[in-house]
Structure 1
Amino acid sequence: MAQALELFFDDSAERAVRELWRRLDDRGVPSAGSRGGRPHVTLAVAGAIPASARRNLRSELELLSIPDLWLHTLGTFPGGDSALLLGAVVDTELLAVHSAVHDVLAGKVTAPSAYYFPGAWIPHCTLAQGLTAAQLAAGFAELAPPEAVRAPIAEVGVTDTRTGETEVLLTR
């Protein structure tokens, strides 16, 4: 079981990502939407984010200016678990938010994932994962070139990746 700190989009951006998911599903590429859940960008993942860390996160998030995201780059990750993603444009504001939440989490969570640490993190919204080479190619063919999605952040929450339940820490 893992818990993830996630940025959730406003209704317009969520609809835009769900439309991309629908297009993938229609093309025979199993989208992230077919697994349930909401479109999001993950800031951090750990085995557990305890209640005390969540309280501290809530306080920190209320002080931060969380920028709108621009999801613009269609891409994938290297390695065995092929994923299709929509990458966020990285700017200093986004990196500052990411760094601030990791400062709060440092030493307070169990089994943090190094993939989400500052310097290693690739901010993105997953469109599909666990794809065959043919599905990945079909996904690129369907969605390239992507139209940029402006994604204002509506909520920030901690999601249990096993159950899908989310504790909302901040609503904007």
Structure 2
Amino acid sequence: MVQSVELVLDEGLDARVREEWAALRDAGLPSQARHTGASNAPHVTVGVADLVDAEGEAALAGIDYGPDSPLRLGGLLVFGGRTSVLSRAVVPTAGLIATHLAVQAALDGAPGRPDTTRPGAWTPHVTLARRLDPDQLAAALSVLADRPRELVGTIRGARRWDGDARATRAVGTDA
């Protein structure tokens, strides 16, 4: 199962993203708001692997995840395919890129690391909705058209999603 390292948003930024989730849900569209599990929270994924061994866990615990570092969510971003994923782009900063590189180094050699999370291919984002068909995507863009172009906040900390246990836990500094 997937193991990931995620940056968690501060309370205010988290609330603004959840407002966008709710607007999509209230319009009858796919939305992350429909995932009601306790682990569901707006986040930025900085690393993914199928397995993280004890050495990797120790390396991840030693990373400074930049709590209280600025985090700016930019415009809407669409990942296409048979269906689309609608996200908010994350505007990269030197600190965010350094955190990403540190996580990638900690996961070096771990199995099942997708190319899309590796340096040079990673697109930082916060997911708003998944599995949108073309009509739903057009409707979602319309629903969110009047939202602010940018949402600004900070990184609260980091967490680990453990797909085997289907649970999250803080990693490094407080999350």
Measure how far apart 1:91 and its partner are.
2.5
Checking the alignment, whether the CA contact within 8 Å between 2:68 and 2:156 is kept in structure 1 is no
Q: So what's the TM-score if we normalise by structure 2? A: 0.89
Checking the alignment, whether the CA contact within 8 Å between 1:66 and 1:93 is kept in structure 2 is no
Q: 1:157 to 1:84 in 2, by over 3 A?
A: same
Q: 1:88 aligns with which of 84, 87, 90?
A: 90
Map 1:125-164 → 2, pairs under 5 A: 125-147=126-148, 148-161=150-163, 164=166
Map 1:93-132 → 2, pairs under 5 A: 93-107=95-109, 109-132=110-133
Q: 1:51 to 1:144 in 2, by over 3 A?
A: farther
Checking the alignment, whether the CA contact within 8 Å between 1:28 and 1:135 is kept in structure 2 is no
Measure how far apart 1:119 and its partner are.
0.5
Q: Which runs of 5+ in 2 are unaligned?
A: none
- Tell me what 1:26 maps to: 26
- Tell me what 1:48 maps to: 51
Q: Which runs of 5+ in 1 are unaligned?
A: none
Aligned partner of 2:103: which letter? V
Measure how far apart 1:75 and its partner are.
1.5
Moved over 6 A (4+): none
Checking the alignment, whether the CA contact within 8 Å between 1:45 and 1:116 is kept in structure 2 is yes
Measure how far apart 1:22 and its partner are.
0.4
Checking the alignment, whether the CA contact within 8 Å between 2:2 and 2:51 is kept in structure 1 is yes
Return 65-74 or 148-157, whichever deviates more.
65-74
- Number of equivalences: 170
Secondary structure (helix, strand or coil) at the match of 1:157 reads: strand
String of CA shifts for 1:107-144, please: whole Å, max 9, x gaps. Answer: 1x221111100110000000000111111111100112
Report the structure, 1 or 2, having the larger helix content. 1
